[in-house]
Amino acid sequence: MSNYDDYQNHLNNVNNELDSVSPSFCVAKWKQVTMHLQNGMNHSCHHPKTHVVPISEIKFNPTALHNSEFKKEQRKLMLEGKRPAECDYCWRVEDSGQGSLSDRIYKSADQWAQPFIKDIQSKPWDDDVDPSYVEVSFSNVCNFKCSYCAPHISSQWMEEIEKYGAYPTSNHFNNLDWIKQENMMPIPNREENPYVDAFWAWWPTMYQNLQHFRITGGEPLLSKNTFLVLDYIIENPNPNLEVSINTNMNPPEELFDKFIEKIKIIITEKKVKKFKLFTSAEAHGKQSEYIRFGMNYDKWLSNIHRVYKEIPEIEFTIMSTYNILSLTTYTHFLDDILDIKRQYGKHDDFRNPMLLDIPYLRYPDHQAIFIMEPEMLPMLYDQVTHMYRNLEYKNWYGTANRGFYEHEADKLKRIYTMVSNMEPNQWTTNTNETRKDFVKFVDEHDKRRGTNFLETFPEFEGFYNRIKQTM
């Protein structure tokens, strides 16, 4: 039996285990949480919408950062076999027929979840639970203004929107009114934050039961709390813990030096089970710097090389959110990643130190790949072909030819397939207004930030001008 068959059997067994509790039961609601401490929002699993935890709840119970009254009510529904409305993503998948397995099954089948099924079933629905999988952002402080980001995630975006207002797109991109309406306005980093205080009150207990812990941002290396976590790990090793940190790899040099020294201790002295770094880029050179305003691409690349040279054991993933502005230079970007894979890959154990994850941008619509013109498809096709031509393999002598994993290339191929299968009317009717929003966005971007879109992306001149003529 293949590994694939083994995994499918495992999923089916977990599905049966979940059904023995209830047909809507999901372990993630108990054992996984993402906490946005800058505004008190959280959710368990990335599909449900975040909800705010009232300060009155965490005042007497710091674990309410995860065990909020709202979430306990959702857990109760699940134990009763009812479907929480916020989990509609999974319900749609499960109702689609053909035995489709939703993320409710996949998440519950993971090692941080499945062993706890019976324990959860034996406890009261309103029990306070220590999660085993935690993601946390301590603040929205960031030195980047990525073109698809938002003010509640980036302090640089917040400053710009407070000064100039929303962008003049049809949906008023990054309008603060919407963020305020959703209770997502961040607490300024200079002010006392009761959610961060509650985190540290809970942390020593939470830490004992953690299997996965990930720090996101903002830019985590600009938060003192990130370094407090690293110091705590150094003083309190946890052999069962996998730690991950997102970073734009462009912090001030003194902070990056400090960061390198601490993770070097954690990894070389085996303070945790595994340590991973995540960073992001989706284009090459000045085009990447336009998308990720504030970035120095050469510094980003050299810092990655530095980490590998000083800490060969590091595990690195690049999250590359493919969008319309990736289209013209993505092959050059892929070559930079290929160089890293080949330079630092270990030939003896056939392991690549660099993973490339290629999701597609879904929001904002005006920067999604779906606004491209059909004539642009060959560029995307060539990028897919480039990846498949540089796949990793072993020869008869066991020597690895470092390259892309097939599943990495498959992700870019799926994007190409999605775009190439669009109906003819989707290339026009459904994208005309969004394309106009694209032009409005880059025009305003250039005006506010002193950039020049057509100089940076000369390949888009015809595309830009054709849209401009319709406005």
**Average model confidence (pLDDT) across the chain:** 93
What contacts 347, CB < 8 A, 6 or more positions away? 399, 400, 402
State how far the Cα of 135 lies from the Cα of 223, in Å rounded to an integer.
15
SS3 label, residue 345? coil
Sorting pLDDT into bands at 50, 70 and 90, what band is 408?
very high
Kindly report the pTM of this predicted structure: 0.92
pLDDT at 5: 79
Q: Which of 173, 143, 167, 166 is nearest to 156 (CA)?
A: 143
Q: Are 195 and 54 in contact (CB under 8 A)?
A: no
- Count of C-beta atoms within a 10 Å radius of residue 316: 20
Sorting pLDDT into bands at 50, 70 and 90, what band is 6?
confident
Residue 385, pLDDT above cutoff 90: yes
Q: State the amino acid at position 353 in one-letter form.
A: P
What contacts 212, CB < 8 A, 6 or more positions away? 112, 132, 133, 134, 241, 242, 244
Sorting pLDDT into bands at 50, 70 and 90, what band is 252?
very high
Q: Which of 76, 147, 110, 135 is nearest to 324 (CA)?
A: 147
pLDDT at 397: 59
Q: Candidates 1.20.5, 2.30.320, 2.40.50, 3.20.20; correct CATH number of 145-431?
A: 3.20.20
State how far the Cα of 95 lies from the Cα of 451, in Å rounded to an integer.
47
Segment 301-346, tens digit of pLDDT: 999 999 999 998 888 999 999 999 999 999 999 999 999 998 887 6
* Domain(s) of CATH 3.20.20: residues in the chain: 145-431
Q: Is the peptide bond before 364 cis (omega within 30 degrees of 0)?
A: yes
pLDDT at 206: 97
Beta-strand pair 400-401/393-394: antiparallel
Find tokens 């966005």 and name the residue: 441
Sorting pLDDT into bands at 50, 70 and 90, what band is 395?
low
SS3 label, residue 275? strand
Q: Which of 324, 342, 308, 290 is nearest to 453 (CA)?
A: 290
Q: Are 420 and 384 in contact (CB under 8 A)?
A: no
Sorting pLDDT into bands at 50, 70 and 90, what band is 56?
very high
Residue 97, pLDDT above cutoff 80: no
Q: Are 126 and 44 in contact (CB under 8 A)?
A: no
State how far the Cα of 213 lies from the Cα of 220, in Å rounded to an integer.
13
Segment 172-213, tens digit of pLDDT: 999 999 899 988 999 988 899 999 999 999 999 999 999 999
pLDDT at 400: 61
Full 3-state SS string of 75-143: HHHHHCCCCCHHHHHHHHHHHCCCCCCCHHHHHHCCCCCHHHHHHHHHCCCCCCCCCCEEEEECCCCCC
Q: Are 362 and 315 in contact (CB under 8 A)?
A: no
Token digits of residue 386: 């480039």
End-to-end Cα, the chain, rounded Å: 60
Q: Which of 447, 439, 449, 459 is nearest to 366 (CA)?
A: 439
Residue 379, pLDDT above cutoff 70: yes
Comparing 84-98, 141-155, 237-251, 415-429, which segment has the lowest mean pLDDT? 415-429
pLDDT at 465: 96
Sorting pLDDT into bands at 50, 70 and 90, what band is 98?
low
Could you tell me what percent of the chain has a pLDDT over 90?
A: 81
**How far is residue 369 CA from its own chain's centroid?**
18
What's the Cα-to-Cα distance from 199 to each of 38, 136, 186, rounded to whole Å? Answer: 12, 9, 16
Indicate the length of the chain as a whole number.
471
- Most confident residue range from 47-51, 220-224, 354-358: 220-224
pLDDT at 321: 95
pLDDT at 428: 62
Residue 236 is classified by DSSP as S
Residue 262, pLDDT above cutoff 70: yes
State how far the Cα of 461 lies from the Cα of 356, in Å rounded to an integer.
30
SS3 label, residue 32? strand
Residue 300 is classified by DSSP as H
What contacts 143, CB < 8 A, 6 or more positions away? 156, 219, 222, 248, 250, 251, 294
Q: State the amino acid at position 44 in one-letter form.
A: S
